[in-house]
């Protein structure tokens, strides 16, 4: 590995310049507690957990009520929400079916992701104290986004490398491409909505982020290997999900931002 002067790596795993949603989705999760971001390690990816519309609904219900709720009450409220009926109109058969799916599928997944605390003995559920949840303004945007669009977004971003790709594009991969083509040694980390980047430059930035090294320390062989995976797998999937634009012929990427991947100012 080539020795480089010590400098912050804007593409590294621990960079906190990523959008809030990507920070929540990372393998090392971050929760904002009293204005301070705290790392929360989870055994299952939060993104996988929120791919399910039902689990997103569970999260929304628990988020509005910090006190523990019984699994039975949660099943009733969830059924009413999904069927758009009142709590009194929920049938016993439907209630039992939803309660069973909670116990055997959804609650274990959410608990493994660090989102909820599920007490199996007294059958109660609550949002985890250190749950890696989005801030209020981001949660509102998630709630207002069509379910089908969220399904695709979370499914694509469940892959850690794809989250790294977005972070790299937002962190300055396009500037690195411009600098490389002009022979400049600039290390600017800002990327505008009109910037494009080649797969070669992006692959080098992605590997640097995954290994925690400087991009110039990445070998050409590793760069070529990842570039192929970007071209055939990751970038087409992200293009189809509307996360970026990928030109197969020129093998160039254009990132214009996504409503759920752009942090907004906190509410007053």
User: 10-residue block means of pLDDT along the chain (268 residues)?
Assistant: 35 41 47 35 56 85 84 95 93 96 93 88 88 56 70 80 87 48 40 71 93 92 95 94 92 84 47
DSSP class per residue in 97-138: HHHHHIIIIIHHHHHHTTSEEEETTTTEEEE-TT-----HHH
Q: Full-prediction pTM beyond 0.85?
A: no
Residue tagged 């509410």 (tokens): 267
> Contacts from 96-105 at CB under 8 Å and sequence distance 24+?
99/71, 99/72, 99/75, 101/54, 102/58, 102/71, 102/74, 102/75, 102/78, 103/71
pLDDT score of 267: 37
pLDDT confidence of residue 128:
85
User: What are the chain's domains?
Assistant: 43-131 (1.10.10), 153-261 (no CATH)
Beta strands in 108-234 (DSSP E): 116-119, 124-127, 196-198
């Amino acid at each position: 590995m080539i020795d480089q002067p010590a400098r912050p790596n804007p593409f590294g795993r621990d960079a906190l310049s990523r959008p809030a949603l990507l920070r929540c989705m990372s393998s090392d999760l971050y929760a904002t507690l009293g204005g301070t971001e705290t790392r929360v390690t989870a055994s299952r990816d939060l993104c996988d957990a929120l791919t399910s519309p039902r689990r997103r609904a569970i999260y929304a219900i628990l988020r509005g009520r910090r006190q523990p709720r019984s699994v039975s009450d949660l099943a009733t409220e969830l059924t009413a929400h999904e069927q758009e009926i009142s709590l009194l109109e929920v049938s016993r058969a439907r209630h039992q079916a939803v309660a069973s799916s909670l116990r055997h599928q959804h609650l274990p997944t959410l608990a493994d992701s660090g989102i909820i605390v599920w007490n199996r003995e007294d059958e109660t559920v609550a949002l985890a104290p250190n749950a890696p949840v989005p801030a209020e303004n981001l949660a509102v945007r998630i709630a207002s986004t069509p379910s089908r669009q969220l399904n695709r977004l979370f499914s694509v971003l469940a892959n850690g490398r794809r989250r790294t790709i977005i972070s790299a594009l937002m962190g300055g991969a396009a500037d690195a491409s411009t600098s490389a083509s002009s022979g400049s040694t600039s290390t600017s980390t800002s990327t505008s909505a009109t910037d494009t980047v080649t797969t070669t430059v992006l692959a080098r930035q992605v590997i640097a982020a995954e290994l925690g090294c400087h991009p110039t320390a990445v070998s050409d062989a590793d760069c070529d290997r990842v570039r192929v995976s970007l071209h055939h797998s990751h970038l087409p999937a992200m293009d189809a999900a509307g996360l970026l634009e990928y030109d197969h012929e020129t093998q160039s990427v254009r990132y214009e931002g996504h409503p759920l991947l752009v942090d907004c100012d906190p509410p007053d």
